[in-house]
Structure 1
Amino acid sequence: MTNTVPEKSGFWSRPTLWKLLLLIVAYLVFYLAAGQVISRVFADQIDTDNVVSSASSIIFGVMLPIAIGAVALLIFTVKVGWLSSIFGPQPVRGRGWMWIGPIIVVAAIAAHLAGTDWSAWSAGEIVSLIALGVCVGLAEELVTRGIAVKMLRDAGHRERFVAVVSSLLFALMHTVNFIAGMELATVLATVVYTFGFGMCMYLTMRVTGTIWAAIVLHGLTDPTTILSTGGLDTSVTTGASGATTIATLLTVVLVAFGVVAIFFIRGRVGEEQPARVSA
């Protein structure tokens, strides 16, 4: 048996949607502020025209603010006593059809890897992008599939509401990319994509029974997408031919599946679920 830390009483012990919104806004403000400080302190290390042009630019221009945000989220999670419940087994069982979500994501990762021009990247840049993926996977999954899902469930919402709202918040979080200078069309495409991706991560967490599966898949998705498309300011639907085109088609399928999945999600924490029926 693992030791568990009891949840704390107080403000965060009575979750509501507005408290979740407050938390996410506070996290984004903290993340942006950290990014501003880092961009000034390490200005000579960051290529503002192409932030993934070197290992140092990736680390200081992208990874470090996210890593700091991830640490802040972990500290918050520990302080309120949610660590074991978020990283422990899921309280709502998944269904067989939910495997479609992670399968699409894995297929897209494989297509991006196959479509990458590896000669265009140095070893240091690749390692830095992998580290970036670890930080992104942990931070974004913790705040949306971890904290957000827990708060929505504890507020008594059904799983369909939990899945849609947590995925929508995940998508809207990416509008801050516009502040960072990303083109509006790319930001809008990213928001649409991240909603579908968020739904697939929710389904991954449900069907595997753990948030760790979502963290791993998310942590692999971002660096492989950057490696394949060539940068952060490139739409996730950009593609030319071959494996990259397959990745683009899979992105469209992912978004479509994420929307369709809404209508099939059932259940609520604490509600008795029917036994699995083998196919």
Structure 2
Amino acid sequence: MPDYASLSPWKRFWERGGWWKAVILAAAYFALYELGSLLFVPLAVGVDQDSAAFVLIAYALPIMLGSVILVLFGLSLGWLRELFGRQPIRGSWWMWIAVAAVLLFNILRFATLDYEAAGFDLVAAWLIAALFVGFAEEVLTRGYVVNIMRKAGHSEMAVALVSAAIFSALHAGNLLGGQDLFPTLVQLVYTFAFGICMYLTLRVTGNIIWPILLHASTDSSIFLQTAHPTDGPLATIAGLGNIVVIITGLVLVFFIRGRIAAREGDPALASARAPLA
């Protein structure tokens, strides 16, 4: 239990945790990210939107800035070591289902990508951009949000749901970019289910590095294979990945409720939560 009296007001505020603080953090990050993205708009003027240069300017640079903001936040609280250290709570065998469902379709999408049509530079650009996306979004939602929720003593069911819900809500911002309402609603369902899968990946692998990499390979494979697919039945199967992830994530919510809730008295769970002063 930290000595709250010895902490600065800034650190004391975050160390006490609370779901509403997780919401505040996500909202502040989203606002700073959106404002920061405007800095790179002039650089994208006149650039071919199907080019590697556009991907780096429009996607990689803004999310790189977002990553820097998140790292600075972690440094201000001294949280980076625990964030990237071994998870205090162990996972269960059934959590590998989430990892397998996501990873299988990532592999299928990469296997059915027309690399010649896409070109090396575009593939490389998307891999770089997606790596920053995976880093920023996982550090925020499966890193800081999970940490803040646990510090307040919330149940792991609440941790899973809130981290996934905040991750999903962040994607509602695509409406600001002109995306239609219906595809945005579908995306919100998908990202919530995907968020559940990433939470379970964090739990079962024990380190946030793995959901970061799995998230990065998901985004890059989706964008590339959607734009440059090969022909054939395997590509059709790969296209079912989002549906499978939605079903997997929503079904596994009930496993979290039953299996993890049954272990709420586990000492490992209790030690992962700092009691309030």
- Deviation of 1:67 (Å): 0.6
Query: Could you tell me which of 234, 238, 243 is aligned with 2:234?
Result: 243
**Residue type at the aligned position of 1:98:** M
Q: Does 1:149 align with 2:146?
A: yes
Residue matched to 2:98: 101
The equivalences for 1:1-279 within 5 A come to 9-40=11-42, 42-44=43-45, 46-47=47-48, 51=49, 53-230=50-227, 242-265=233-256, 266=260, 271-272=266-267
Provide the identity percentage: 37
Unaligned 5+ runs, structure 1:
1-5, 232-237, 275-279
- Deviation of 1:240 (Å): 8.3
Higher helix fraction (1 or 2): 2
Task: Identify which range, 101-110 or 9-18, moves more after superposition.
Answer: 9-18
- Helix, strand or coil at the partner of 1:182: coil
Contact preservation (8 Å) 2:114, 2:230: no
Contact preservation (8 Å) 1:38, 1:61: yes
Aligned-partner Cα distance in 2 for 1:93–1:78: 26
Question: After TM superposition, which residue ranges in structure 1, 4 or more long, deviate above 3 angstroms?
Answer: 6-9, 238-241, 267-271
**Residue type at the aligned position of 1:21:** V
Instruction: Specify whether residues 57 and 250 from structure 1 end up closer, same or farther in structure 2 by C-alpha distance, changes over 3 A only.
Output: closer
- Helix, strand or coil at the partner of 1:174: helix
- Deviation of 1:167 (Å): 0.5
- Deviation of 1:46 (Å): 4.0
Aligned-partner Cα distance in 2 for 1:216–1:192: 22
Contact preservation (8 Å) 1:167, 1:199: yes
Contact preservation (8 Å) 2:109, 2:239: no
- Deviation of 1:82 (Å): 0.9
Calculate the aligned-residue CA RMSD, in Å.
Answer: 2.3
**Residue type at the aligned position of 1:80:** L
- Helix, strand or coil at the partner of 1:10: helix
Aligned-partner Cα distance in 2 for 1:174–1:243: 29
Unaligned 5+ runs, structure 2:
1-5, 270-277
Superposition TM-score, scaled by structure 1 size? 0.86
